[in-house]
Structure 1
């Protein structure tokens, strides 16, 4: 029987008060890791910590409220947590907008949040991991990094960047005992996605549940599973790749997208 044991390891999961990030924290905590929960506000962070403690009795948790899109947060997190064994760069935003209507400021905002937050944190913690000869860095990218959505080009480009960055960082630390990978979820049932369905419901007058049911068949018809992915399904992959069991998996773009990518090369 395979056993994912992260006892004694310290992990930071950015953007982890809801959705995929929250599910990842739960899985890592179940495996015995001390997990740092991160949200932009203290209230949301504290609420998420309480939720996980209720779901995972005995979980070792800390909360750290900060917006990692801002460079000045690095000093604070490095002081609070000088060393990490596991870094999951999950922080991310998405919106639907046409290419013609997306201004420079929005491209820059998406780059700062989705890309530079992970770049800065990895640059902060990678040297310690290589010195200790063990570490795990994971970028939560997306199938949209290969399959760029025409109504979210500004989002897709950030996910393509994460995939490229993760591969490059992995190649920069050969033989170090540190693995660096990207994980590519497909359309996932998160609060943000459900909100998107609710907004569509208000515009069209159709039930949000009906819009959700038809979303994958209509907008991601190549999906083999023909449904939204659950956050826990993504978290399962992340927990594995963060574990000692995945010691030979690095520089990879790991797909949890229901099979909709036919040829991601």
Structure 2
């Protein structure tokens, strides 16, 4: 299958590292003009240069904006007002006992993981409809369908993304615009590496920490290991393509079989 995104513009939020960066590289490599986004201007610019280099000279722009805020989302929209592909990847996660999570943390997780995507989709999706083509993708998680006891506030936001993407897909039915969620399982990103250190111990070698985490906390994994960011990016690349024209309103799993369900 040859995926050609030449002439398309893709906005990928939270794309300075991890899954977001891998997605930006994959889209740029397929010919899309990619907007890399992060909060810190210097880090975002550096990531943009890295994505361009890693993708083989793709056209990449960098826009620093904190899309977890209304002001930041507006700044990103002002800098990149048109997009054919919107990947809502920005997110935060962390472990906390559910009855000890204060209101401010519930709100921070919701604004970052959910409202950021709502704000950007609200701007871009109607414009995609007017052009007759578009792809909106929410990066959710297997936690959307298998709530982790240690991260209930995170799981709540991931479930909300499934409802959002399905409802938005219904709203734009028959327009040439698709809206989907992609559900990665535990993926080896810098943030997850730090999470592992907290859960397993800072002095444990990463390979052993990965093995212990999967065996003890995600034993339903059929891979028996953490997923790699480029494995998630491969599914996002397909979902962004012309070839995925009949895939909409879906929750697409790339979770390594962690969720022991037939349908999300």
- Which of 237, 258, 261 matches 1:260? 258
**Higher alpha-carbon deviation: 39-48 or 206-215:** 206-215
- 5+ residue gaps, structure 2, are none
Query: What is the Cα deviation at residue 208 of structure 1?
Result: 4.0
Question: What TM-score, normalized by structure 2, do the two folds share?
Answer: 0.96
Aligned CA RMSD, in angstroms, stands at: 1.3
Q: Distance in 1 between matches of 2:52 and 2:74?
A: 28
Distance of aligned partners of 1:39 and 1:6 in 2 relative to their CA distance in 1, 3 Å threshold = same
Normalising by structure 1, we get a TM-score of 0.96
Q: What is the CA deviation profile of residues 107-129 of structure 1, one whole-angstrom value per residue up to 9, with x for unaligned ones?
A: 00000000000000000111100
C-alpha distance in structure 2 between counterparts of 1:58 and 1:258, whole Å? 31
Q: Is the 8 A contact 1:200 1:208 kept in 2?
A: no
- SS class of match (1:152): helix
TM superposition shift of 1:83: 1.2
Provide the rounded CA distance (Å) in 1 between the counterparts of 2:181 and 2:201.
35
Q: Does residue 235 of structure 2 align to residue 237 of structure 1?
A: yes
| CA offsets 1:188-240 (integer angstroms, 9 cap, x no match) | 0000111112234546x544432211211221111111110000000000000
Give the equivalent residue in structure 2 for 1:18: 17
CA distance in 1, matches of 2:165, 2:35: 21
Aligned partners of 1:17 and 1:64: how far apart in 2? 11
Contact 1:89-1:138 at 8 Å conserved across structures: yes
Please tell me whether residue 123 in structure 1 is matched to residue 87 in structure 2.
no
* Structure 1: segments with no counterpart, 5+ residues: none
Between the aligned partners of 1:209 and 1:199, the Cα distance in structure 2 is 15
Take 1:76 and 1:196, find their aligned partners in 2: how far apart are those partners? 30
* 1:126-145 pair list within 5 angstroms: 126-145=125-144
Q: Is the 8 A contact 2:139 2:183 kept in 1?
A: yes
Q: How does 1:23-34 map to 2 (within 5 A)?
A: 23-34=22-33
Residue pair 2:15, 2:89 contacting (<8 A) in 1 also: yes
